[in-house]
Amino acid sequence: MEPSGKEMFAVVARDGPARCGRLTTRHSIVDTPAFLPVGSKASVKAMAPDELWALGYRLLLANAYHLTLRPGEELVRKLGGLHRFMGWRGALLTDSGGYQTLSLSKLASVDENGVRLRSHIDGRKVEMTPESVISGQRALGVDIMMVLDECPPYPASVDRVARSVDLTARWAERSLQAKRQSDQLMFAIVQGGVYPELRKRSAAQLTALPFDGFAVGGLSVGEPKPQMLETAALVSELLPAGQPRYLMGVGTPQDLLAAIALGYDLFDCVLPTRNARNGSAFTSSGVVSVKQARYARDPMPLDESCACRTCRTFSRAYLRHLYLSGEILAARALTEHNLSFYCTLMSQARIAIASGTYEIFRRTLAERLVEGVKEH
């Protein structure tokens, strides 16, 4: 018998809607709330897998669409699966590639069968169906598979988003029929834009089906921040309490703190790695941009309260020098710090939830981060 989502996920502590959980996968147990570093092409930029493990990460995100294009899921399968291919011993979640219907909309067309697009690499024709996406993720051997969905743009008319909601639901049913391996989890993706009734419709359609967890997609695509949080709050209340809730693509520290307070468990975003490559570091007192001249002679670490290797070793002045000199070490050091900051943030949130002090923790840290942005 296939284990249910409730057996794979257990809520171990609550503080209001915020909760700590334990997600059991084939390769690792993941304590939640948890942030997933983005490694779309089977690599988190500037970081080695053992470094991510040492920071405390147990679940990474890759992208089935990108890996299907290059090197190809069959090659990965023949080489022992994605974990062996990339040298990662923890759990892996693969995004289906549905987001590419939005990000590569000029190259893509969508119909009942699936998505047709031209590869952004070499222009060849690519077809993604709910069945092919699940087949590809089975070949990759990942722990958590995401179904193919259609992510509508923002803004979009209610009729346009309604069609997307219903198509996503039909694709989700086909994805379940294509699933054959019981030890790979499968999550559905709630769509509906910023329309409350459509979000309710999507959640009702998907939660009626036997998925292992539920994601919320189609946010952080251009809508105002208050609308994003309002929509996330609505959907969280519609999802099963005993299964993981994954808020996709949301990623400033303040947003994560707010989303945890709404009852979400998993998050991913390119922000910590992308910002690091642009010379920007997240710290407990706000964002530090090492590009600024004020740091040219600054002997302090990025964050005095951070114990990561970067903060133990390098000054702001040295990091600025590395960045302005175009040294690869700048990206490596800043990325390691940012991912350490995010991992620590999740750990602190879990401790606060378990001790019943999450709201105090969230407000105190959020205020400090906002004040720090003004100062830095």
Which domain-ending residue is among 268, 301, 316? 268
Q: Are residues 212 and 292 in the same domain?
A: no
- One-letter amino acid at 306 equals C
Q: Are residues 260 and 291 in the same domain?
A: no
Q: Are residues 264 and 280 in the same domain?
A: no
For 209-262, how does the pLDDT look when each residue is reduced to its tens digit (9 = 90+)? Answer: 999 999 999 999 999 999 999 999 999 999 999 999 999 999 999 999 999 999
What is the span of the domain harbouring residue 179?
A: 5-268
H-helix segments, the chain? 5-8, 49-55, 64-69, 73-78, 82-86, 100-103, 130-140, 158-178, 196-207, 225-238, 253-261, 271-277, 309-313, 316-324, 328-354, 358-375
For 102-128, how does the pLDDT look when each residue is reduced to its tens digit (9 = 90+)? Answer: 777 777 899 999 999 888 888 899 999
For 323-366, how does the pLDDT look when each residue is reduced to its tens digit (9 = 90+)? Answer: 999 999 999 999 999 999 999 999 999 999 999 999 999 999 99
- Mean pLDDT across the chain: 94
Which domain-ending residue is among 268, 288, 320? 268
Q: How many domains does the chain have?
A: 2
DSSP H/E element including 16: none
Q: Are residues 26 and 72 in the same domain?
A: yes
Alpha-carbon dihedral of residues 222, 225, 230, 232, nearest 10 degrees? 60
Active-site residue, selected from the candidate residues 15, 31, 95, 303:
95
Q: Are strands 59-63 and 34-36 parallel, antiparallel or unpaired?
A: unpaired
> Is 149 noted as a catalytic residue in this protein?
no
Cis omega before residue 17 (within 30°)?
Answer: no
Burial category of 341 from C-beta neighbours within 10 Å (exposed 0-12, middle 13-18, buried 19 and up): buried
Q: Are residues 235 and 283 in the same domain?
A: no
Rounded to whole angstroms, the Cα distance separating 216 from 214 reads: 7
CATH of the domain at 144: 3.20.20.105
Which domain-ending residue is among 213, 247, 268? 268
Q: Are residues 145 and 64 in the same domain?
A: yes
Q: Are residues 248 and 361 in the same domain?
A: no
For 7-38, how does the pLDDT look when each residue is reduced to its tens digit (9 = 90+)? Answer: 799 999 999 999 999 999 999 999 999 999 99
Q: Are residues 194 and 247 in the same domain?
A: yes
Q: Are residues 225 and 329 in the same domain?
A: no
Q: Are residues 184 and 72 in the same domain?
A: yes
Measured N-to-C along each axis, helices 328-354 and 358-375 cross at an angle, to the nearest 10 degrees, of: 150
Q: Are residues 104 and 201 in the same domain?
A: yes
Q: Are residues 199 and 283 in the same domain?
A: no
> Is 212 noted as a catalytic residue in this protein?
no
Active-site residue, selected from the candidate residues 31, 143, 212, 268:
268
Q: Which DSSP string do the residues of 117-181 spell out, in sequence order?
A: EE-TTT--EEEE-HHHHHHHHHHHT-SEEEPP-----SS--HHHHHHHHHHHHHHHHHHHHH---
